[in-house]
Amino acid sequence: MLSVPCPWCGPRDETEFSYGGQAHVAHPAEPDALSDHEWSDYLFVRDNPRGPFAERWCHSAGCRRWFNAVRDTVTHSFLAVYRIGDPVPEIS
């Protein structure tokens, strides 16, 4: 089981969290202006990298707050956690 480092509560068991998929996917500012292809991209296509991935978690059975994390999808280790709205931290 993953140990998820909630920025407010510290490391807690994965079972306390829900997963929110890729972070930083903004709703299109002008949906009407999108082509079908761009709309499809927004609806269905997400990054799926082998390696570091910026994603959302919610500590749903804890403080109930959303946050972002950069996690390596091969090692499962959390490289950074940061607040919603903050930019992706540089990972060295």
Partner 1 sequence: MTAAPDGAPQEHPSWLWRNPDPKPSYDVVIIGAGGHGLATAYYLAAEHGITNVAVVERGWLAGGNMARNTTIIRSNYLWDASAGIYEHSLKLWEGLAEALDYDILFSQRGVLNLAHTLQDVREGIRRVNANRLNGIDAEWLDPQQVADVCPIVDISPDTRYPVLGATYQPRGGIAKHDHVAWAFARAADAMGVDLVQNCEVTGIDVDRGRVAGLRTSRGPITAGKVALCAAGHSSVLAGMAGLRLPIQSHPLQALVSELLEPVHPCVVMSNAVHVYVSQAHKGELVMGAGVDAYISYAQRGSVHTIERQMSAALELFPIFARAHVLRTWAGIVDVSPDASPILGLTPVEHLYINCGWGTGGFKATPGAGSVYAHTIASDAPHPLNAPFSLERFTTGALVDEHGAAAVAH
- The answer for residues whose C-beta is within 8 angstroms of residue 70's C-beta and 6 or more apart is 52, 53, 54, 55, 78, 79, 80, 81, 88, 89, 91
For Zn ion, the closer of residues 18 and 75 by Cβ is 18
Contact residue for Zn ion among 8, 49, 51, 88 (CB under 5 A): 8
Structure tokens, 77: 């280790």
Binding of partner 1 at residue 15 (CB under 8 A)? yes
What does the binding site for partner 1 look like in residue numbers (CB under 8 A)? 1-2, 14-15, 18-19, 21, 36-37, 40-41, 43-50, 53, 55, 71, 73-76
